[in-house]
Structure formats: C-alpha cells, structure tokens
C-alpha cells in the first residue's frame, strides 16, 4: 500500500513570495491533516479535512495560509505572502476516518526555508 505522498520535498523562497505544497493521501482515506513543524517543536495542526469539508482550521493563519481539498482526495496548502517565521516542515497526514481510533499516517514532509 502506497503511503502519503508530498511534493516538493524541499523549497527555498524569498519572503513575500508565494508557495504551494501538494499532498496525496493514502487511497480511501477520508480524513486529511496539515501540520506545521517548526524546528525544535512538535507538529501543530493547521487544518483538518473530512472528505472535502473543513473540520478544524482554528490554528490556520487565514490572512496568508489557505488549503483546499476540492475532490476529497489530494490537497494543496498555499502560503501567500510568506514570512520568515513560516520556515518549517509541513507535514500531511491521512486516516481512514476521523477519531483517535483511526491511526494517522504521515508523509515525509516539505521543508520550507524562507529567506
């Protein structure tokens, strides 16, 4: 079974530029998560989708971050414009359904450096 795929793996941009990350979850997984992991910290949930609907986006900085999962499968996370403090690893995870009894499977992440 293929795992969660993410691209690109690495991205370097200048501040105020825009950037987009792509995630393809495990086939059949209804729930998709985006996390931000800043160096030296644990992952922080940015947004959670159930199929193509948003379950929780309370920690997403909506003035600059956006995410979509239009067909309930793959997802895109965008930052526009980027700030220095956005430098982090962005992790995508998926699970069969929501809830603590459904394991979240994580992708390898996209490492973003903002100069």
Site for another protein, rule CB under 8 A: 3-4, 40-45, 48, 55-56, 58-59, 91, 93, 95, 98-109
Torsional sign, CA 91, 95, 99, 102: negative
Rounded to a whole number of angstroms, the minimum distance from the CB of residue 57 to another protein is: 10
Rounded to a whole number of angstroms, the minimum distance from the CB of residue 16 to another protein is: 28
Rounded to a whole number of angstroms, the minimum distance from the CB of residue 55 to another protein is: 6
Q: Which is nearer to another protein, 19 or 93 (CB)?
A: 93
Q: Which is nearer to another protein, 16 or 44 (CB)?
A: 44
Q: Which is nearer to another protein, 37 or 76 (CB)?
A: 37
Q: Which is nearer to another protein, 82 or 93 (CB)?
A: 93
């Amino acid at each position: 079974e293929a795992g969660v795929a993410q691209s690109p793996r690495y991205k370097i941009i200048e501040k105020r530029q825009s950037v987009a990350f792509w995630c393809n979850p495990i086939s059949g997984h209804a729930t998709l998560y985006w996390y931000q992991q800043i160096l030296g910290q644990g992952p922080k949930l940015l947004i959670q989708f159930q199929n193509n609907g948003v379950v929780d986006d309370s920690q997403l900085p909506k003035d600059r971050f956006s995410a979509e999962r239009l067909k309930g499968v793959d997802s895109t996370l965008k930052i526009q414009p980027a700030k220095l403090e956005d430098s982090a690893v962005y992790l995508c995870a998926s699970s069969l359904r929501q809830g603590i009894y459904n394991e979240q499977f994580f992708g390898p992440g996209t490492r973003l450096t903002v100069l």
